[in-house]
Structure 1
């Protein structure tokens, strides 16, 4: 179980941080999801842990949104920049996972900008579209696994993903 949890920890944190816009809350959500998996499902077969964990994680994120009736991450970022806060460490940096031995420096700058643009664009998606995108495109869940994790129908997953991809295309085209 420990090995499984270590393998999903960073991705789960990234997903939660993007969804809630607060590092501390994201850490709490991931920790709570991990405890719930261990407490309630450690007796299950190993191949069941991944979909169960991401279902729990998505439910915790949804619960957080319901409790906080929060503003979007985009609004939080806009407020942070207008106040001039220097709290950029609060957001998980996917660039930290890049292979540093490969590309030329100019490619690294482009990749960093591209990752920042993608992360920002995903962060501006509505929560359900964000969940569908992260589960399908980042975690590689199929439609039925994503539907189970999001507690919705396969058709809803397809709709949320289609809208997310269209929004991301539009936002990222503007960046070019």
Structure 2
């Protein structure tokens, strides 16, 4: 009885699994830092919660989409991460409001579309940098934004997703993404202007 075909099949499966795990490891190394910054801002600096959300998203990605191409992982990962963040926010809102199960909890009070907003090009975060503005100050300014504005800015400016993909990740309309992103840019420029004269303020 020839066992070679079975052995070969088993070896192929093992090789595919090893390749997928290596791809995931490389992917995690690339996106973990940015994803953590996003989640720490969204959870108001709770590093442990942010780490848990990111790790859970990686586990779900590997469990459900290990066979997808690496390029497809980027929007899939951030969609999973956004869903886990929204679940966490709902639990926190219910914990803060003991009888909240009797009513629908709105997490997106700022989710109002302004359809006349032109789709803005994704900014390079470096535009906010000069000698007077540090990365820490930018991160603090981002953390002060409403969560949906944080997400729109981070996904568009930091991750480079277009409006359509960002809308799919955030589970909202493209008009909402445009609104959140526009408001985030304006708020960041206003909050950082006093430190950076190139943003319209004074460094004095």
TM norm. shorter chain > 0.5: yes
User: What RMSD in Å do the two structures reach over aligned CA positions?
Assistant: 2.1
Aligned to 1:12: 35
Structure 1 residue aligned with 2:72: 48
1:116 Cα deviation after fit: 2.1
Following TM superposition, the consecutive aligned residue runs of length 4 or more in structure 1 with deviations greater than 4 angstroms are none
**Where does the alignment leave 5 or more consecutive residues of structure 1 unmatched?**
72-108
Counting only pairs closer than 5 Å after superposition, residues 15-164 of structure 1 correspond to structure 2 as 15-20=38-43, 21-69=45-93, 110=131, 113-164=133-184
**For structure 2, which runs of at least 5 residues remain unmatched after alignment?**
1-23, 97-129, 196-202
Q: Which has the higher helix share?
A: 1
Task: State TM-score, norm by structure 1.
Answer: 0.73
Q: TM-score, normalising length from structure 2?
A: 0.63
- Bigger Cα Rg: 2
Residues 68-112 of structure 1, C-alpha deviation per residue, up to 9 Å, x if partnerless? 1399xxxxxxxxxxxxxxxxxxxxxxxxxxxxxxxxxxxxx946x
Structure 1 stretch displaced more, 1-10 or 148-157: 1-10
Distance 1:122 1:136 in 2: 13
The CA distance in 1 between the partners of 2:136 and 2:28, in whole Å, is 26
Greater Cα shift, 27-36 or 54-63: 54-63
* Deviation at residue 59 of structure 1 after TM alignment: 1.4
Q: Comparing both chains, which one has the higher relative contact order based on Cα–Cα distances under 8 Å and sequence gaps of 6 or more?
A: 1
CA distance in 2, matches of 1:119, 1:6: 20
Q: Report deviation, 1:167.
A: 0.8
How far did residue 143 of structure 1 move?
0.8
